[in-house]
Amino acid sequence: MLIERQAPVAVLTQPDRPAGRGRKLSPSPVKQLAQDTGITVMQPQSLKNPEARRQLESLAPDLLITAAYGLLLPQAVLDLPTHGCWNLHASLLPRWRGASPIQQAILAGDAETGISLMQMDAGLDTGDVLLTCATAIDDDENAGQLGERLAQMAARLLAKALEQLELDCLPEPIAQDDARASHAPLIRKTDAQLDWNQDAELLARQVRAYNPWPVAFGLIADQTVRVFQARPVPLDSAPAGTVPGDLLTDAGHRVGIQVACGRGALEILELQAAGRRRMSAREWLNAKPQWRG
């Protein structure tokens, strides 16, 4: 959308990272699109590097826009563009500043989230907010699906802001209320481990928040599985001696695999064992009839 409106003079993206089974260096989608459309690509390890800053300065930018860039910009870079630096952040700031706003919104059970366009400063997502747009979070929406929707919203919001900038009618930026701020930390793979002692509602949100990465996982019947889709269900009655983590599924009347939790049960609808393909719970139960109870 930005390219259609006015192509940037250059694109900054992080260095190529290893990807796939062969761990070969792979360019980001941003780099691929920039190369396909003839836009200059810069991939500095850090913008604190004087040479990287000189290269950026040579472009004489009017505006620098970041989205999920992953690196803090030093003050020398923030001061470089005529109109400063903007950041598109996937939350309604000051809620969920940091690296994982989409996942944290789902984990917390937030009813809505959105996009904030802010004027960047030296802090972590602390700059004044120029524009926002909000959206409800669907009850069964995972992080990947929500992220795709927010990306489309961000593109539309940026186009609106650029038009307002051109017409000199951007609203006055609004300072964030630091007292209302919450932090969205960098996600680790271990964060996705399911603790069956927790409430099933929380575990279902965990499954949604960590899909597509790093994917929730847990131990069921002495086997570690990855869980891609699940829902909480009430546990009105259970066999005597049932403890969190016990397999509850029995034959004939469920589409999922139920596991007892600290409160309620988690019904798993899609899962994967190590070295196997993803499959529905129905397929799994056909292959593992002993899990039917």
pLDDT of residue 260: 95
- Paired tokens of 292: 């039917």
HSE toward the beta carbon, residue 268, CA cutoff 13 A: 33
Asked whether residue 172 carries a pLDDT value surpassing 60, the answer given is yes
Question: Which pLDDT band, with edges at 50, 70 and 90, does 254 fall under?
Answer: low
Tell how far CA 123 is from the center of its chain: 20
Asked whether residue 251 carries a pLDDT value surpassing 70, the answer given is no
**Each residue of 150-185: b (16+ CB within 10 Å) or e?**
beebbbebbeebbeeeeeeebeeeeebeeeebeebe
Distance between CA 80 and CA 77 in Å, rounded? 5
Asked whether residue 8 carries a pLDDT value surpassing 60, the answer given is yes
- Paired tokens of 171: 């609203």
Q: Which helix (H) or strand (E) holds 50?
A: helix 50-57
Q: Which amino acid would we find at residue 95? A: R
pLDDT of residue 89: 98
pLDDT of residue 293: 60
Asked whether residue 270 carries a pLDDT value surpassing 90, the answer given is yes
Question: Which pLDDT band, with edges at 50, 70 and 90, does 19 fall under?
Answer: confident
Question: Which pLDDT band, with edges at 50, 70 and 90, does 181 fall under?
Answer: very high
Question: Which pLDDT band, with edges at 50, 70 and 90, does 61 fall under?
Answer: very high
Distance between CA 293 and CA 290 in Å, rounded? 6
Most confident among 20-29, 241-250, 260-269 (mean pLDDT): 260-269
For residues 250 and 63, the model is more confident at 63
**What average pLDDT score do residues 55-62 get?**
93
pLDDT of residue 228: 98
For residues 191 and 19, the model is more confident at 191
The answer, as to whether pTM is greater than 0.85, is yes
**Residues 113/69/53/31 CA torsion (nearest 10 deg):** -130
**What average pLDDT score do residues 78-105 get?**
97
Q: Which amino acid would we find at residue 51? A: E
pLDDT of residue 85: 97
pLDDT of residue 5: 73
Asked whether residue 132 carries a pLDDT value surpassing 60, the answer given is yes
For residues 6 and 155, the model is more confident at 155
pLDDT of residue 183: 98
Asked whether residue 22 carries a pLDDT value surpassing 90, the answer given is no
Residue 281 near residue 292 (C-beta atoms within 8 A): no
**What average pLDDT score do residues 253-265 get?**
88
pLDDT of residue 289: 82
Distance between CA 125 and CA 104 in Å, rounded? 15
Question: Which pLDDT band, with edges at 50, 70 and 90, does 253 fall under?
Answer: low
**What average pLDDT score do residues 36-60 get?**
91
Percent of the chain with pLDDT over 90: 77
